[in-house]
Structure 1
Amino acid sequence: MNCIKEIFFLCLLMSVTACTEGTNETVESAYQLPVLPEPSYKFSRNGESSVNTLECDFLKYPIDRIFSAYLSAARITTLTDSVKMLRLYAEGTYGLKPQEQIATSSAHITNRERILKDFKSWFDASARISGLGKTNPSNHRNTEAEKGKEGYVGTNIGDKDICFVNEKGVAVAEVYRYAIMGAIYLDKILNVHLSGNVTDSPKLRSAHDLTQLSAGHNYTELEHHWDLAYGYYGFWKSLAQSEGLPALKDSHRRIFHSFVRGRSYMETSRYDEIKLQADTIRHELSRVVAVRAMSLLVGANTFANLKENPKYAFRLLSQAYGLIYASQFARNAQGQPFITYEETRNLLQTLEQGDGLWDKERLLKEEKDEGSLRHLAAQIGQRFEVSLKEIEK
């Protein structure tokens, strides 16, 4: 009997000890808060959608066609090719002309001619790389790039993953691709449709309050401006998503939610709240431009390729070039530019100096060394208040 009592006492002691071991510990409950559905950008009036962003896709088509059919594969080998490409640029489709849409905001009207000349210079460079005007354009196009000599970069001309570069190693097709995202899409989002001239306009607010719809449509002019900004943001969306970049964590979510909230606030004419959402979009999207450019300059893939074989970093660095160019169209929460046209050109000239992207030794130098990728990234970060440490995590 005593033995049984001892065993019972030991069991009781162990159970008490087990109960007290967790004292002052935080225990996670199995209950979890319900996950709320993500908001959607859908708005209607009288049972029909009041959102129309067709303009955005109509304009995107000729822009993408110029890149895919002519620039990326250096296919401007004949005068006919050149005429077709330039017609697409000047005349577009569905009445939307890329050339007319570049840098149209009041913020960039003074630099518009210079910006148009920059795009023409990239088209001309692509034509030279294609062999336009040469006796045998195909032979010229099919020549492998060397330091100081334009051509293709890749295993061989039949490689699917090749790019065509100028004598400095700059892939002008990639520059065009990202520069136009700034000169048209970013300019329209931040400097046209979400500008103070629109969101603070007494005329547009009054028409919106009275539900004066645009002729033949189901939206007010103020709503349509906001919708177009959202539509053009769709082309920046992939760059705003973090994809392993801590510096962009939740950027897309904040931008998207601000678009949804701002459009929702229009239903009750809460203009102060709408302005706050526009400010958030300006801040976040401008940060996306800087972070992406800096990441392409000093990212692990760029440095690994540069060290092993400089040519294989040219595509990434050319994308960075295009984004640096695009950064002049960014605006802070107060609507002021982070960087001017002249400052942008100066930064790009440091990238192209000497042998350009072929100059591996210069590009890989430390942050203190002007002309290095780290120095260039730091210069961008300083203007956009993004530290190099955030990018190199």
Structure 2
Amino acid sequence: MKYSKLIFASAIVASLSITSCSNDNDDTTVNYTIPATYTFERNSVTSVDYSGQSSRLLMLEEMGNYIKTAATAGTIVDNAVLSNMYSNTNNPFSTTELNTSGKQLKNKTAASKDYFELFLGGGSTVEKTNVQAFFETQLTLANQASLGTVASAGVAGSYLDGSSSRLFAANGLEPQQVLLKGMMGAGFMDQVVNNYLSKNKLDEASNKINNTNKVLEEDKEYTTMEHAWDEAYGYIYGADGTKYWSSYISQVNADSDFNTLKTDIDLAFRTGRAAIVANDYTTRDAQIDIIKAKLALVPAVRAVYYLQDGKGKLTTDGGAKAFHALSEAYGFIISLRYTNKPGTNNPYLSKTEVDAMLASMVSGTNGLWDIDTLGAKLDTLSTQIATTFGFTVEQAATVN
């Protein structure tokens, strides 16, 4: 099928044109336009839908806010409520839209096609079960920390950090932050790079033939391949477009050492989607590699930033003020297991390596509370991550 030019939005400004000299179908030159925003239409209506991804972003936000509110109010975190939120059972959310969405976080945790169906990247069904259980344990730990005890070495409880009260497990980790940052990896990152942008997913069954022939899903204005790409996009930019990965992409991008990151990821998503419409699978695949590489930088840079930020606060109030930052670092390190290095179908750091890093952070009798030996560990982990991803500790530590 030959395309001369495709316009995807009624009002496109500062758009880009792309010419591909080959695709998977023939050697015909393909010319098409990349829209200035992620706006694609068919038959004068949008062909983009990532409502399910937006729902899951909002579900995780509500889980985090539930724990935060309980910590601030000094009330007990109800483990049953959080568990219901995780699996979306018994109408646990504040809106009917979420409760009746048919979506949940649990079944999208460590559930990608590549890593946990095809077992690439070292994944397995056993790991999937264990990862889900790990996050359910964070819910239990939040409950235990909310029972009225003041947090101290080896004791779960609450701690007043300025005007904010936070809940900490006995080892000093903050369950809320481990949940949020960890799920960004095990849920959202995994789905983006190991599922919806997987060629095994995009091209499975008759997806490629149907996309080439523009066979649409029933009662929809998109092909299955277009929709899969949109779902990947939704895990980054869904809901109001500023949550989780989108927010941290902006934070990393604010540093001069990484100041093309946001543009690179956004352009790759727009280019890949336009390429799918134009049946230009060579360009599509090139954008997948860009997204995989650039997105993986975000948890890597933020992990090093929070490791160093936490290290700098170890002597403040006996180290407790550092634990919030270190818990964020812990969650971002979890996310590194779900990255996908282009050309390998494996993470930049293996599950074994990530598990060892996490164990190192909380090793010792009282985990993070053992501040006398913690600083050296944090430096070692920072260097390991920075070296793997090709930046310096100093570059990452300057990100706000």
TM range, normalised to the smaller chain? Answer: 0.7 to 0.9
Structure 2 equivalent of residue 360 of structure 1:
371
Distance 1:314 1:243 in 2: 25
Distance 1:243 1:147 in 2: 37
Structure 1 equivalent of residue 184 of structure 2:
181
Structure 2 equivalent of residue 307 of structure 1:
315
Structure 2 equivalent of residue 208 of structure 1:
211
1:390 aligns to 2:387 (yes or no): no
Aligned partner letter, 2:76:
T
Moved more, 210-219 or 247-256: 247-256
Structure 1 equivalent of residue 356 of structure 2:
346
What does the per-residue CA deviation read over 1:155-206, in whole Å, with 9 as the maximum and x for residues that have no partner? 5xxx642211112211111000100111111111001100021344472111
**1:81-96 aligned within 5 A:** 81-91=78-88, 93=99, 94-96=101-103
Distance 1:243 1:363 in 2: 29
Structure 2 equivalent of residue 105 of structure 1:
112
| 1:70 alignment partner, one of 67, 74, 77 | 67
Which runs of 5 or more structure 2 residues have no equivalent in the other structure?
Answer: 1-12, 16-34, 90-98, 118-123, 238-243
Structure 1 equivalent of residue 56 of structure 2:
59
Aligned partner letter, 2:392:
S
| 1:144 alignment partner, one of 139, 142, 150 | 150
Kept in 1, the 8 Å contact 2:171–2:362? The answer is yes
CA positional deviation for 1:387:
3.1
CA positional deviation for 1:245:
2.7
Kept in 2, the 8 Å contact 1:71–1:126? The answer is no
Structure 2 equivalent of residue 7 of structure 1:
none
1:379 aligns to 2:384 (yes or no): yes
Structure 2 equivalent of residue 26 of structure 1:
none
**1:120-131 aligned within 5 A:** 120-131=136-147
Distance 2:76 2:213 in 1: 56
Structure 1 equivalent of residue 132 of structure 2:
116
Distance 1:348 1:378 in 2: 14
CA positional deviation for 1:82:
2.6
Structure 2 equivalent of residue 283 of structure 1:
293
CA positional deviation for 1:246:
3.5
Kept in 2, the 8 Å contact 1:298–1:373? The answer is yes
Structure 2 equivalent of residue 325 of structure 1:
334
Structure 2 equivalent of residue 50 of structure 1:
47
Kept in 2, the 8 Å contact 1:199–1:275? The answer is no
> How many percent identity over aligned positions?
24
Distance 1:76 1:222 in 2: 46
Identify the structure with bigger relative contact order (alpha carbons < 8 Å, sequence gap 6+): 2
TM-score when normalising by structure 1: 0.80
Aligned partner letter, 2:313:
N
Distance 1:166 1:358 in 2: 11
Moved more, 146-155 or 45-54: 146-155
Distance 1:120 1:62 in 2: 15
| 1:292 alignment partner, one of 302, 324, 337 | 302
What does the per-residue CA deviation read over 1:127-162, in whole Å, with 9 as the maximum and x for residues that have no partner? 21122xxxxxxxx2xx3322222222225xxx6422
Structure 2 equivalent of residue 265 of structure 1:
275
CA positional deviation for 1:363:
2.3
Structure 2 equivalent of residue 29 of structure 1:
none
Which runs of 5 or more structure 1 residues have no equivalent in the other structure?
Answer: 1-34, 132-139, 366-371
Structure ranking higher in helix proportion: 1
| 1:153 alignment partner, one of 150, 153, 159 | 159
| 1:245 alignment partner, one of 255, 260, 267 | 255
CA positional deviation for 1:84:
2.4
RMSD (CA atoms): 2.2
Aligned partner letter, 1:119:
F
Distance 1:190 1:255 in 2: 12
Distance 1:69 1:318 in 2: 18
1:268–1:36 CA distance, 2 compared to 1 (3 A): closer
**1:5-16 aligned within 5 A:** none
Distance 1:328 1:119 in 2: 15
Distance 1:216 1:160 in 2: 51
Larger Rg over CA atoms: 1
